[in-house]
């Protein structure tokens, strides 16, 4: 893909949106950018399927899907796989949320523009233990 008009969206469960706010944002943003002539790739998470990435098209959006195990370790492995794949690409990297942000320094090494959307005041949510709040 041409680096000048390509955007890669990491940090969501993917499109079409079926989970929450980041997925809804990713879907709307991806479709908007597609309509503006950009090549859009969204990294997607699946519960089952073949090993390694599967690549398909959804409404003109390139989807790169990795299978992820349940739980925090599975999420980290998924984010790692997405980051490693995205590092081979050229374009704007849009990281949504905190999980993939752990690997954002690696994305910076590629020289690609890197945008991050951390989603509000997540660090105040009671679901996070004290050490999680410090990280956030």
Q: What is the pTM of this model?
A: 0.86
Q: How many domains does the chain have?
A: 1
Give the bridge partners for 39, in sequence order. Answer: 6
Which residue has better confidence, 29 or 133?
Answer: 29
Dihedral angle, C-alpha 22, 35, 41, 73, nearest 10 °: 10
Domain CATH code at residue 23: 3.40.50.2000
Find, among 46, 53, 61, 54, the residue nearest to 13 by Cα: 46
Structural domain including 116 reads: 3-135
pLDDT for residue 23 is more than 70: yes
Q: What is the mean pLDDT of the chain?
A: 89
CA distance 13 to 125: 21
Distances (CA, A) of 105 to 2, 46, 102, 112: 23, 25, 8, 11
Other residues' Cβ atoms within 10 Å of the Cβ of residue 126: 6
């Amino acid at each position: 893909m041409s680096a000048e008009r390509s955007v890669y969206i990491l940090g969501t469960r993917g499109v079409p949106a079926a989970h929450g706010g980041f997925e809804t944002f990713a879907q709307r943003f991806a479709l908007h950018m597609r309509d503006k002539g950009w090549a859009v790739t969204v990294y997607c998470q699946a519960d089952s399927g073949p090993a390694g990435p599967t690549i398909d098209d959804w409404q003109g959006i390139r989807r790169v899907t990795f299978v992820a195990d349940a739980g925090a370790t599975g999420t980290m492995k998924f984010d790692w796989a997405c980051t490693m794949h995205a590092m081979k690409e050229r374009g704007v990297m849009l990281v949504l949320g905190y999980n993939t942000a752990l690997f954002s320094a690696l994305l910076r090494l590629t020289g690609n523009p890197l945008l991050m959307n951390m989603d509000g005041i997540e660090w105040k949510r009671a679901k996070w233990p004290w050490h999680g709040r410090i990280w956030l």
